[in-house]
């Protein structure tokens, strides 16, 4: 099965600075990579996703990059704000055949210092 | 739409007791799943269903049963609770498969087994 590793496990940044979270995956057939944000005591929610036919995707202050050759993808948050403090999960899945499982990384706790 | 709902929000069990965690969605989603969230381990898939009458095992199925008699409901049964099952449980649904569609999570159930 798919194994997703996520680093770092915790990240503290000054407000206004950038934050980068990196994930690697093991299954070269994986081609869908979503990112979920979970605020304290809340449910995970999708913030951005990328498919293997795209190298980079942006949505306002967040962006995701994908390197299929190296089997890693990253989340970039620019101009961090206090509301960006949360746990972020990366995930990977195959969009093919009868595959119905999304594999998650262990999560990164991001703290934005005022 | 209420989205994905879960009951109860909190539950304390004694070792050996059984119980059912309820999950319902009103979005007519085909795919539903159960995850458990433990510190430092991300979200791990317990069981999933691709439609009414069809269920399958995920990554950590032991000690849990599921059924899917209707499109809307996907209950998770703990047969004989153990302290190792202390966790936060999330139900999720997506329109079809999680490799193509956004997963919507419920608010979670925090379970403690003494």
Determine which of B57, B97, B101, B106 to mutate to test the interface with A (most A C-beta atoms within 10 Å).
B97
CA A40 to each of CA A31, A32, A37, B107, B111: distance values in angstroms, whole numbers, following the listed order: 29, 26, 10, 12, 17
Pick from B40, B58, B106: CB nearest A106: B40
A6 lies within 8 A of chain B by CB = yes
* pLDDT tens over chain A, length 114 residues: 788 999 999 999 999 999 999 999 998 888 899 999 999 999 999 999 998 887 899 999 999 999 999 999 999 999 999 999 999 999 998 766 666 788 999 999 999 999
Question: What does the alpha-carbon distance between residue B58 and residue B46 come to, in Å, rounded to a whole number?
Answer: 5
Residues 6 or more apart whose CB falls under 8 angstroms from that of B39 comprise none
Eight-class DSSP state of B19:
E
Asked whether the beta carbons of A4 and A23 are under 8 A apart, the reply is yes
Pick from B45, B90, B99: CB nearest A95: B99
Instruction: Answer whether A102 sits within 8 Å of B98, measured CB to CB.
Output: yes
Q: Which tens digit of pLDDT belongs to each residue from A54-79?
A: 789 999 999 999 999 999 999 999 99
**CA geometry: angle at B108 spanning B102 and B111, to 5°?**
145
For residue B15, pLDDT over 80 is answered with: yes
Q: Confidence class of residue B87 from pLDDT cuts 50, 70 and 90?
A: very high
Cross-strand pairs, A50:
A33
Eight-class DSSP state of B73:
B
* Sign of the CA dihedral with A42 first, then A48, A53, and A56 last: negative
Determine which of A44, A86, A108, A109 to mutate to test the interface with B (most B C-beta atoms within 10 Å).
A44
- Predicted pLDDT of residue A96: 62
Q: Least CA distance to A87: which residue of chain B?
A: B42
- Name the minimum distance, in Å, from the CA of B78 to any CA of chain A: 22
Asked whether the beta carbons of A100 and B100 are under 8 A apart, the reply is no
B54 lies within 8 A of chain A by CB = no
Q: Least CA distance to B95: which residue of chain A?
A: A100
């Amino acid at each position: 099965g798919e194994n997703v590793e996520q680093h770092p496990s915790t990240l503290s940044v000054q407000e206004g600075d950038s934050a980068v979270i990196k994930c690697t995956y093991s299954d070269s057939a994986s081609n869908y990579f979503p990112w979920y944000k979970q605020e304290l005591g809340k449910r995970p929610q999708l913030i951005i996703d990328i498919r293997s036919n795209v190298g980079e995707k942006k949505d306002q202050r967040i962006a995701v990059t994908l390197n299929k050759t190296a089997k890693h993808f990253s989340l970039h948050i620019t101009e961090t704000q206090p509301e960006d403090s949360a746990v972020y999960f990366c995930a990977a899945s195959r969009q093919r055949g009868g595959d119905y499982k999304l594999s998650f990384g262990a999560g990164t706790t991001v703290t934005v210092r005022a | 739409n209420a989205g994905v709902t879960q009951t109860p929000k909190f539950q304390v069990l004694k070792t050996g007791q059984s119980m059912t965690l309820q999950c319902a969605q009103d979005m007519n989603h085909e795919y539903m799943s159960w995850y458990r969230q433990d510190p430092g381990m991300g979200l791990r898939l317990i069981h999933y269903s691709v439609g009414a009458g069809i269920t399958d095992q995920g990554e950590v199925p032991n000690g849990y049963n599921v059924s899917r008699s209707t499109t809307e409901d996907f209950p998770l049964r703990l047969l004989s609770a153990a302290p190792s099952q202390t966790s936060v449980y999330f139900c999720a649904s997506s329109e079809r498969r999680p490799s193509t569609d956004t997963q919507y999570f419920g608010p979670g159930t925090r379970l403690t087994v003494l």
